Amino acid sequence: MTSAIKDHMLCDPALQQEIMRRITVASICASQPVHPADPLGSIDIPGGRQVSAYLRHAVDAVLLDEVGKVVLITRRNNPGIGLDALPGGFIDLKHEAASIMEQAAEAALREAREETGIGADNWQQRG
């Protein structure tokens, strides 16, 4: 995504609404997406430019410490650099040559490990 559309997405309610409308119409939100990103078509941004927009699938992990408090990380990148957030990130291809995607839960665990440094041997899964 170009910085032009990123900048406008953060502050332009009309652009946000148009993107949400396209996602809803396309019905491409699923618990397990088929592609890492789905095209949303061309979008007019302020200033008269037209850009291609994509929905990039992401996950967040909710981790609880031993007393039940939610584990948060400090965002290292924009949007929201320096703010607290759940550990998470994009669903990736596991094997690019074969176009095999990570499962959503698998991606959430990978991101949680990467962003918290907590090893899987210290985790217990609930529910």
Q: Give me the domain span that covers residue 21.
A: 3-56
pLDDT, mean of residues 85-111: 87
- Weakest mean pLDDT among 4-18, 82-96, 110-124: 4-18
Q: What is the pTM of this model?
A: 0.72
Residues 51 and 69 both lie in one domain: no
The pLDDT assigned to 83 comes to 95
Provide the β-strand partners of residue 64: 70
Task: For residue 125, tell me if it sits in a domain.
Answer: no
Q: How many domains, the chain? A: 2
Residue 89 contacts residue 59 (beta carbons within 8 Å): yes
Is residue 127 in a domain? no
Residues 32 and 47 in one domain: yes
Rounded CA separation 126/114 (Å): 21
- Clarify whether residues 114 and 62 are in a common domain: yes
Of residues 4 and 122, more confidence is placed in 122
**Sequence-separated (6 or more) residues with CB below 8 Å from residue 81:** 75
117: which strand partners?
none
